[in-house]
Structure 1
Amino acid sequence: MLCLRKEGESSYSKGILCILGGFLLCLSFASDFSYPNLNTYIISYMRQNGENPGLTYGDFVLLTSTKVILQGSSMPFIGYMARRVGIRPSIAIGSIIYSTGFLLTYWTIKMKFIMAIMTMSMHGIGFSWVYATAIRAAQACFPPRMKGRVGSLVVSGYGFGSLVWIPLQTAFVNPHNIKAELDRNCEYFGTEQQDRKCDRYFEDADLLERIPYMFLLLGTIFLGMGLISVILISDEDQREDKLVSDSDSEDSAEIPLNSEKREDPVYLKPSEVLRTPTFYQIWIAFFSLCLTNGLMGNYSKTYGLTFINDDHFFAWVGILANIFNGAGRIVWGIVYDKLNFKRTYLIMAVIVGSVTACLPVLPYLDAPMIVLKVLYGILMVSLYGSFPGIYAIVAAAVSDAFGHKYYQANFGLLFSNAVCYCILIIVFTKVPAIYAFLGYTGMFLVAAGIAALGIIISLLLPKRLTCQDSLNKVMCS
């Protein structure tokens, strides 16, 4: 490795510290994996604050979509700026923006919903400054053959985050496991279908009063974690240039004499990346699983509440699912290093598509509550152990396919898919005729169908992603 061979043991330690700092950073930014939990608290509170009486869980998609659209549209440009500004300043900027958004929500949650959307969506801007930057900083310390493992260790923090945030939120807001109440304005209220068709909201006054203070607590914690990450992550912007020659020397000692010589490194600019078919194939594959992520991030808990009314149960499911979320990212990163993007993605997409298609069956099972809880838990664990892995493998795939010199901007181009899947979810939920037709069942089935599309498109990818192959396709286009 570069740090060991070029600068001694202390520099090798910098690589470990970069991974630790990136992990901690992703851990703090993982509050979006607690959005299903925050949905129930934010919407329940704002329905009672006198400003938003008609607010529903379906409206929460406007908050998450604004955050993700800001994130996806800004990431290529902020990625370019982050490369010029430097690693530590970029992480500091992103962390301050993110934590400030949560702190301000203490006040905006008492206003119109649009104000809470504005402050909570600052998360997306902060994310654009730090995510690719942290991955790049860690990967630059290690040989190219370890991209998957190193990147997955960093982004596993995103998966493990809700092990902390969901239990913390639930313990702070609802320590006594107070039940949510059926919406009395639901058209099915008072009928046999009320349990399946009507949402449940929290109405207990003491519980609701604690919700604004939760944002002060979270914002303060996030700011502290961001500042620690700034200290841990090294700001050596040119490490990757030194890494190329060093990793080539190290690998050449391990490659037999009759082996094929390594190609000279090539790098594609964002304008060149957009001219390759490989980019669009990876983009579609990424989109097809991010849609499931978007649906779960908005509706996994509100959907579960239609047939399981137990807030603490969902907290425990969140803990278990996000153990698999974090550990799964590491596993998928290791699998990537062994199988490369195409085969790893195919395995992942088959699991995600199959499980998503099974979700709508649960409310219709004539089974005891304990059985429904177990089945719901198994499906959530299977999903969260699978689809988050896409973030680990695309982080490595972008570097392999397009090089690391413009990594942050090129990685940001992929996140433009967020705009598309958010628009799709908004259409699903905010167009009354479509939502009435689809409901939760239709949305989950559409997501499973799009996962199948991703499988088909990924079959067209080359077995191994390389910069040279991508460059040849640019030159031929």
Structure 2
Amino acid sequence: MMSSRFENVRWKGWLVVLGGILIHITLGSRYTFGNLTSYITSYLRERTPSESIRYKDTTSIFLLLITCYGATVPLGGVLDERLGPRLVSIIGCWVASIGVFTTYFSIQDSFYSVLLTYGLIFGIGSGIAYIPALACAMKWMPEKKGLVNGLVTGGHGIAAVIWNPIETEYINPHNLSPNTSLKEEPTERYFAEASVLDRVPSCFLLLGISFAIIQFIGVLLLFDPSEPSEPCVEDEKHLTKSDGEPLQAGGEYKTFEIEGETSEGVEDDTEQEQGLVDEKWTGLDIPPLEVYTETAFWILWSTHLITVLGIVFIMALYKAYGQTMINDDYFLSLTGSVSAIFNGVGRIFWGCMADRYSYKLLL
């Protein structure tokens, strides 16, 4: 009986993981900016008053997106604690989708309007929605936090595998190459073909609607365990420490047994249930504001910043640079997709390693 209940919990946990993956596949579409930037910049140059815009200028759209995303991730975590994963996720997701959807209008207006919709709004929504799905999934399988983290954020990483070819096939179905360049910089090339430019605004409608539908399905799969400290206990039995002291909510102790049962009668089930408690957790629980006073936090934060800087630069300009030498839009889009495969698989691999080894060793 206990075993079947345990399996039921596991099944629900994997549904939550699937929901998180779906959400992150849409949020990770920001990694397709390098594929979109040649279309965005070309459209702004040819169809709006922003005719002097260059790739170095539109890169600031991605910079604003990443900045807003990073700044609002903590906000998503705080709201998740108060409002729950479903509500916070749907708010963040649909703010992000609105940012993408309204770029249909803003790109026909000006560069600064695109900064507002695709940079600011999309970035804020992505940041708010990032944490709730991830945290919710890890609550179901705390003993596999690394794997769960890797799977959910792996969706973030592989997003370009899905969206890059969709964007390129929709905007440039005939695989045309950029056909104009700057006099002062002949290798900096842009699209001027009407058949390509005409499809750029509506691509954002397609993406925005697709994101909203996928996000809604993902959010429906999110739900927290009703009681983190007793996820698969029959009836309403209390969990206690081996010395009889009640187990605190949130899994603050590594081992427990069921009150009123002998160790002989529940030995096997208890071992199974221990899988629902993070055995590596030290018991340290630091309030959010106090985290910023910890040296370890700033070491991790700085490490992440340094690592991401180079990646963001390449991510934003790989296609614009590739066009200086390669006249194959599909190939350049595929290059970004292949990179995304390693991004996604790498997250899963290192997540599994984190469950087995110290994060310091892996870093």
- Displacement of 1:292 after TM fit? 1.7
Q: Which runs of structure 2 are paired with 1:326-475 in the superposition (5 Å)?
A: 326-345=344-363
Q: Does residue 202 of structure 1 match 2:191?
A: yes
- Displacement of 1:266 after TM fit? 2.3
Corresponding residue to 1:318 among 310, 323, 336: 336
After TM superposition, the structure 1 stretch with the greater mean CA deviation from structure 2, 19-28 or 332-341, is 332-341
Q: Which runs of structure 2 are paired with 1:203-218 in the superposition (5 Å)?
A: 203-218=192-207
Per-residue deviation, residues 1-24 of structure 1 (Å, max 9, x unmatched): xxx879543332210011000011
Q: Does residue 294 of structure 1 match 2:292?
A: no
After TM superposition, the structure 1 stretch with the greater mean CA deviation from structure 2, 31-40 or 304-313, is 304-313
Match of residue 90 from structure 1: 88
Match of residue 36 from structure 2: 38
- Displacement of 1:155 after TM fit? 0.5
- Displacement of 1:238 after TM fit? 5.2
- Displacement of 1:134 after TM fit? 1.0
After TM superposition, the structure 1 stretch with the greater mean CA deviation from structure 2, 308-317 or 36-45, is 308-317
Describe the shift of the 1:279–1:34 C-alpha distance in structure 2 as closer, same or farther (beyond 3 A). same
Corresponding residue to 2:251 among 224, 227, 244: 244
After TM superposition, the structure 1 stretch with the greater mean CA deviation from structure 2, 163-172 or 6-15, is 6-15
Per-residue deviation, residues 377-400 of structure 1 (Å, max 9, x unmatched): xxxxxxxxxxxxxxxxxxxxxxxx
Amino acid aligned to 1:167? P
Q: Does residue 307 of structure 1 match 2:305?
A: no
Match of residue 128 from structure 2: 129
Identity %: 31
- Counterpart CA distance in 2 for 1:317 and 1:149 is 27
The structure that has the greater radius of gyration is 2
Amino acid aligned to 2:326? I
Match of residue 219 from structure 1: 208
Q: Is the 8 A contact 1:183 1:201 kept in 2?
A: yes
- Counterpart CA distance in 2 for 1:182 and 1:10 is 60
Amino acid aligned to 1:280? W
Q: TM-score, normalised by structure 1?
A: 0.64
Higher helix share: 1
Q: Which runs of structure 2 are paired with 1:65-76 in the superposition (5 Å)?
A: 65-76=63-74
- Counterpart CA distance in 2 for 1:262 and 1:50 is 56
Amino acid aligned to 2:114? A
Corresponding residue to 2:61 among 60, 63, 73: 63
Per-residue deviation, residues 341-393 of structure 1 (Å, max 9, x unmatched): 22222xxxxxxxxxxxxxxxxxxxxxxxxxxxxxxxxxxxxxxxxxxxxxxxx
Structure 1 unaligned spans of 5+: 190-197, 255-260, 346-477
Structure 2 unaligned spans of 5+: 230-247, 258-268, 273-278
Match of residue 234 from structure 1: 223
Q: Is the 8 A contact 1:142 1:243 kept in 2?
A: no
Describe the shift of the 1:60–1:239 C-alpha distance in structure 2 as closer, same or farther (beyond 3 A). farther
- Counterpart CA distance in 2 for 1:311 and 1:219 is 23
Amino acid aligned to 1:328? G
Amino acid aligned to 1:248? T
Describe the shift of the 1:287–1:325 C-alpha distance in structure 2 as closer, same or farther (beyond 3 A). same
Q: C-alpha root-mean-square deviation of aligned residues, in Å?
A: 2.4
| Counterpart secondary structure, 1:239 | coil
